[in-house]
């Protein structure tokens, strides 16, 4: 066999298809094989390869093992006289492979070579010919001198920018996006160093080839196009930091300690600076809205102070008031979920302002020393109540009228709703079409996800992957909205999916087939005739989870201390014993707990046998009020929240509800959860006992 082409793929389905089509033409008349190693892609890449390119050998990794390790998997199985490491985001000319084979035949001293690589705009990709990062090469690159003086031989050594791009040149290294080598080279020096996850492995490989006595060439007689960085766009790590670390590994491995120490300072400085800038960027994006709101609160208080300066004369009192109301406003905002997923929700901002006003008036009456005067407080919250929702409304209106550009990441993250459509049926097509013509709503459709692959595109939007990989798809595409269609997913499906992505900062909406079908209780947004109903489960709000846990701790602790002596004595005199059991809990986990059981194996009536589980409630394994309590070994049913000693359907009567009833009760409980509902259910359970 002449050539073995090895491609490492990671979530670049469209580019991979183009690369394979161009590769088929370039390999015509050449005895060859193509080996694709997929690093756990979720975009349907593997399905495309299997269905459209069945002759290609596909190796499927269950996780992203990095470029070097994946390459080695391909090299181990390759049978050709020449090996070609090729990126999936490339396009080859028809003569590329033939030209490279002819070059090797005419240059027996060559161990590896790369061709001319162009960017998508036709410019030369500088990484296609490089020098090793010795101090004299690396320092001008790190200081930016190579960019300022690219034609200078002293400063342009790293990418050889002072050389003619159409000149055949012996080089230190070529790009791993197109690296061709002889089989005997691999057999002698082995595969790529797997200490390099991404970046640097090709540089290290070329160094070892040089060290073994072969030469490496840049061959400009043929060229390819490389859409650089497409795989890296969807990576979960900072590419620049990974690059710096890779350079550090390379320098430490191949250069003297003195050279390593000198370059290492610049590399570590680069990592620290990049990390610092990244931290600032993340912090600004995360706290930008609370900062604006805090600024509005401070300005409102200062303006009110100017209008009513005779009320507060002490600077210390004014400062304490600013601090108090900042904590009050931001605390109420976080409690109502304003800073969770709905940062631009003017309705929640208005509700928070009203709640803040009520709390401040109550606090003013309780604590005499705070006397700010009700009039002063009313003025403050008049400004806050108008400005906090008002600036949000103004921002949305200006954006939808295209007065605000969406070039910055911050503005895009705030104003655009990065949306994934869940489903690929007729309803999904209808939604996609409407959203394309109603851009004023701010939906940016990323693509669609479904439980099985039916179609490659809907209205030009791509298939992003299977529903089982939704968590990863949401993460890599930075989605903020999910829209479900009920022609493809029923209630239980939607609930399971929402449970799957519960930890992601993502909103969920559904498009019901019938307007009387509503899953969740929240706002309805309409795009012409399409109602988008927000799926909203109260039980998952942080504030509700926090107060539910506090309630569980207090009730279980007090109940355990007060009632344990009486209950244990009763069980002892009635011939009972304690039995250890394993129970199922949410997120497909289990825990061990204890229950009472009679000597004859019978259970105590009215759920009294569950009393020892009160300590499992205290530990946090379960709740006082929750889902169905199931033992391990029974027919497994997924629980969407913690099991409880009692629950909503357990207090509805003496009849045993079926699975549909249980699901309906659970949906109702999740949607309408409040601490008062828990108290009501618990009181009913106690009355039944």
Least confident of 285-299, 424-438, 519-533: 519-533
- 241 domain-assigned: no
Predicted local distance difference test score (pLDDT) of residue 579: 86
Residue 517 has pLDDT above 70, yes or no: no
From the centroid of its chain, how far is CA 661?
A: 34
Residue 191 token pair: 């595969």
- 568 domain-assigned: yes
The answer to whether 353 touches 389, Cβ cutoff 8 Å, is: yes
Q: What is the pLDDT of residues 459-485, one digit of tens each?
A: 778 888 888 888 888 888 888 888 887
Q: Give me the chain's average pLDDT, please.
A: 79
Residue 116: which domain range? 3-128+167-235
Residues 573 and 520 in one domain: no
Number of domains forming the structure of the chain: 4
228 vs 328: which has the higher pLDDT? 328
Residue 677 has pLDDT above 80, yes or no: yes
Residues 305 and 433 in one domain: no
Which residue, 348, 371, 400, sits at the end of a domain? 400
The answer to whether 175 touches 128, Cβ cutoff 8 Å, is: yes
Average pLDDT over residues 677-682: 86
Predicted local distance difference test score (pLDDT) of residue 670: 83
- 250 domain-assigned: no
Residues 389 and 447 in one domain: no
Average pLDDT over residues 255-273: 64
Closest CA to 446 of 458, 438, 430, 455: 458
Residues 365 and 464 in one domain: no
Residue 678 token pair: 């828990």
Q: What is the pLDDT of residues 14-73, one digit of tens each?
A: 889 889 999 999 999 899 999 999 988 888 788 889 888 988 999 999 888 888 899 999
34 vs 256: which has the higher pLDDT? 34
Q: Looking at mean pLDDT, say which of 125-134, 434-443, 495-504 comes out highest.
A: 125-134
* CATH code of 520's domain: 3.40.50.720
Closest CA to 623 of 585, 578, 677, 664: 585
Predicted local distance difference test score (pLDDT) of residue 4: 94
Q: Looking at mean pLDDT, say which of 188-192, 398-402, 453-457, 573-577 comes out highest.
A: 188-192
654 vs 165: which has the higher pLDDT? 165
Strand order in the sheet with 417-422: 457-458, 461-466, 443-450, 417-422, 481-485, 507-511, 530-534, 524-527
Which residue, 400, 430, 453, sits at the end of a domain? 400
Q: How many CB atoms lie within 10 A of CB 22?
A: 18
* CATH code of 87's domain: 3.90.550.10
Average pLDDT over residues 89-114: 92
Confidence of residue 665 (pLDDT cuts 50, 70, 90): confident
Confidence of residue 109 (pLDDT cuts 50, 70, 90): very high
Q: Which helix (H) or strand (E) holds 180?
A: strand 178-182
User: Going by C-beta distance under 8 Å and a sequence separation of 6 or more, which residues neighbour residue 652?
Assistant: 665
Residues 491 and 353 in one domain: no
Predicted local distance difference test score (pLDDT) of residue 521: 42
Buried (b) or exposed (e) across 27-52, using 16+ Cβ within 10 A? beeeebbbbbbbbbbbbbbbbbbeee
Predicted local distance difference test score (pLDDT) of residue 515: 39
Residues 216 and 99 in one domain: yes
Predicted local distance difference test score (pLDDT) of residue 500: 78
Residues 568 and 642 in one domain: yes
- 264 domain-assigned: no
Interatomic CA distance for residues 642 and 587, integer angstroms: 9
28 vs 305: which has the higher pLDDT? 28
- 371 domain-assigned: yes
Q: Looking at mean pLDDT, say which of 92-101, 153-162, 401-410, 424-433 comes out highest.
A: 92-101
Confidence of residue 240 (pLDDT cuts 50, 70, 90): low
Residues 561 and 683 in one domain: yes
Percent of the chain having pLDDT more than 70?
77
- 405 domain-assigned: no
Predicted local distance difference test score (pLDDT) of residue 231: 59
Residues 172 and 73 in one domain: yes
Least confident of 96-110, 125-139, 208-222, 516-530: 516-530
Q: Looking at mean pLDDT, say which of 150-164, 166-180, 382-396, 573-587 comes out highest.
A: 166-180
The pairing of strands 82-86 and 178-182 is: antiparallel
Percent of the chain having pLDDT more than 90?
18
Interatomic CA distance for residues 552 and 560, integer angstroms: 11
Interatomic CA distance for residues 670 and 142, integer angstroms: 55
Predicted local distance difference test score (pLDDT) of residue 340: 67
Confidence of residue 618 (pLDDT cuts 50, 70, 90): very high
Predicted local distance difference test score (pLDDT) of residue 107: 93
Which residue, 516, 536, 556, sits at the end of a domain? 536
- 583 domain-assigned: yes
Predicted local distance difference test score (pLDDT) of residue 378: 73
Average pLDDT over residues 277-297: 79
Closest CA to 501 of 535, 454, 532, 526: 535
Residue 526 has pLDDT above 90, yes or no: no
Predicted local distance difference test score (pLDDT) of residue 463: 83
* DSSP single-letter state for residue 404: S
Which pairs with CB-CB distance under 8 Å and at least 24 residues apart come from 538-543? 538/670, 538/671, 538/672, 538/673, 538/674, 539/641, 539/669, 539/670, 539/673, 540/502, 540/670, 541/337, 541/340, 542/334, 542/337, 542/340, 543/334, 543/335, 543/336, 543/337
Residue 564 has pLDDT above 50, yes or no: yes
Predicted local distance difference test score (pLDDT) of residue 329: 82
Predicted local distance difference test score (pLDDT) of residue 668: 78
Partnered with residue 116 across adjacent β-strands are 223
Residues 560 and 599 in one domain: yes
Interatomic CA distance for residues 393 and 387, integer angstroms: 10
From the centroid of its chain, how far is CA 452?
A: 22
Predicted local distance difference test score (pLDDT) of residue 516: 35
Residues 563 and 667 in one domain: yes
Can you say whether the dihedral through the CA atoms of 534, 535, 537, 543 is positive or negative?
Answer: negative
Q: Is 250 exposed, middle or buried (0-12, 13-18, 19+ CB in 10 A)?
A: buried
- 142 domain-assigned: no
Residues 654 and 608 in one domain: yes
Residue 625 token pair: 């009020």
Confidence of residue 503 (pLDDT cuts 50, 70, 90): confident
């Amino acid at each position: 066999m002449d050539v073995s082409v090895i491609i490492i793929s990671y979530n670049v389905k469209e580019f991979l298809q183009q690369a394979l089509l161009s590769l088929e033409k370039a390999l015509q008349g050449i005895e060859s094989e193509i080996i694709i190693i997929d690093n756990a892609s979720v975009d349907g890449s593997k399905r495309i390869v299997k269905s459209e390119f069945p002759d290609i050998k596909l190796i499927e990794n269950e996780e992203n093992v990095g470029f070097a390790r994946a390459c080695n998997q391909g090299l181990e199985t390759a049978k050709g006289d020449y090996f070609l490491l090729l990126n999936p985001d490339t396009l080859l000319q028809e003569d590329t492979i033939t030209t490279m084979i002819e070059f090797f035949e005419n240059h027996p001293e060559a161990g590896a070579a790369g061709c001319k690589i162009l960017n998508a705009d036709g410019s030369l990709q500088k990484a296609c010919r490089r020098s090793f990062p010795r101090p004299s090469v690396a320092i001008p690159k790190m200081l930016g001198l190579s960019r300022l003086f690219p034609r200078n031989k002293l400063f342009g050594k790293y990418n050889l920018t002072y050389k003619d791009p159409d000149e055949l040149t012996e080089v230190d290294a070529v790009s791993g996006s197109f690296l061709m080598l002889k089989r005997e080279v691999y057999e002698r020096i082995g595969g790529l160093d797997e200490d390099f996850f991404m970046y640097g492995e090709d540089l290290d490989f070329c160094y070892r080839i040089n060290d073994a006595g072969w030469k490496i060439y840049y061959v400009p007689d043929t060229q390819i196009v490389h859409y650089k960085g497409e795989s890296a766009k969807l990576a979960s790590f900072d590419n620049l930091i990974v690059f710096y670390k890779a350079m550090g590994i390379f320098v430490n491995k191949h250069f003297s300690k003195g050279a390593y120490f000198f370059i290492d300072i610049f590399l570590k400085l680069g990592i620290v600076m990049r990390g610092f800038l990244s931290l600032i960027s993340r912090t600004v994006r995360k706290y930008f809205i609370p900062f604006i709101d805090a600024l509005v609160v401070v300005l409102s208080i200062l303006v009110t102070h100017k209008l009513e300066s005779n009320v507060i004369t002490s600077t210390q009192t004014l400062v304490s008031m600013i601090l108090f109301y900042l904590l009050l406003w931001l605390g109420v905002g976080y409690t109502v979920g304003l800073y969770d997923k709905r940062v631009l929700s003017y309705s929640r901002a208005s509700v928070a302002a009203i709640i803040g006003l009520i709390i401040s008036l109550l606090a003013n009456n309780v604590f005499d020393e705070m006397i700010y005067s009700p009039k002063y407080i009313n003025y403050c919250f008049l400004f806050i109540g108008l400005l906090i929702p008002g600036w949000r409304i103004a921002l949305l209106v200006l954006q939808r009228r295209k007065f605000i550009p969406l070039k910055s990441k911050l503005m895009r993250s705030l104003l655009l709703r990065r949306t994934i459509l869940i489903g690929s049926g007729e309803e999904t097509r209808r939604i996609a079409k409407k959203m394309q013509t109603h851009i004023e709503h701010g939906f940016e459709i990323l693509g669609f996800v479904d439980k099985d692959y039916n179609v490659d595109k809907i209205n030009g939007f791509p298939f992003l992957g299977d529903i089982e990989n939704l968590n990863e798809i949401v993460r890599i595409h930075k989605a903020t909205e999910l829209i479900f269609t009920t022609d493809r997913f029923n209630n239980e499906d939607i609930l399971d999916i929402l449970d799957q992505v519960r930890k992601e900062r993502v909103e969920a909406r559904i498009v019901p087939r019938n307007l009387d079908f509503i899953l969740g209780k929240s706002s309805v947004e309409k795009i012409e005739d399409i109602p988008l109903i927000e799926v909203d489960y109260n039980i998952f709000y942080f504030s509700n989870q926090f107060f539910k846990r506090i309630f569980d701790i207090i009730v279980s602790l007090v109940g355990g201390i007060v009632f344990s002596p009486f209950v244990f004595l009763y069980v002892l005199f009635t011939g009972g014993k304690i039995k250890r059991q394993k129970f199922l809990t949410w997120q497909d986990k289990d825990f061990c707990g204890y229950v009472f059981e009679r000597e004859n194996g019978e259970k105590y009536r009215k759920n009294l046998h569950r009393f020892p589980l009160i300590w499992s409630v205290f530990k946090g394994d379960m709740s006082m009020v929750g889902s169905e309590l199931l033992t391990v070994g029974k027919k497994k049913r997924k629980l969407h929240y913690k099991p409880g000693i009692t629950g909503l359907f357990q207090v509805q009567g003496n009849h045993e509800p079926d699975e549909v009833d249980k699901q309906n009760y659970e949906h109702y409980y999740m949607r309408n959860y409040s601490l008062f509902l828990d108290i009501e259910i618990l009181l009913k359970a106690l009355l039944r006992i």
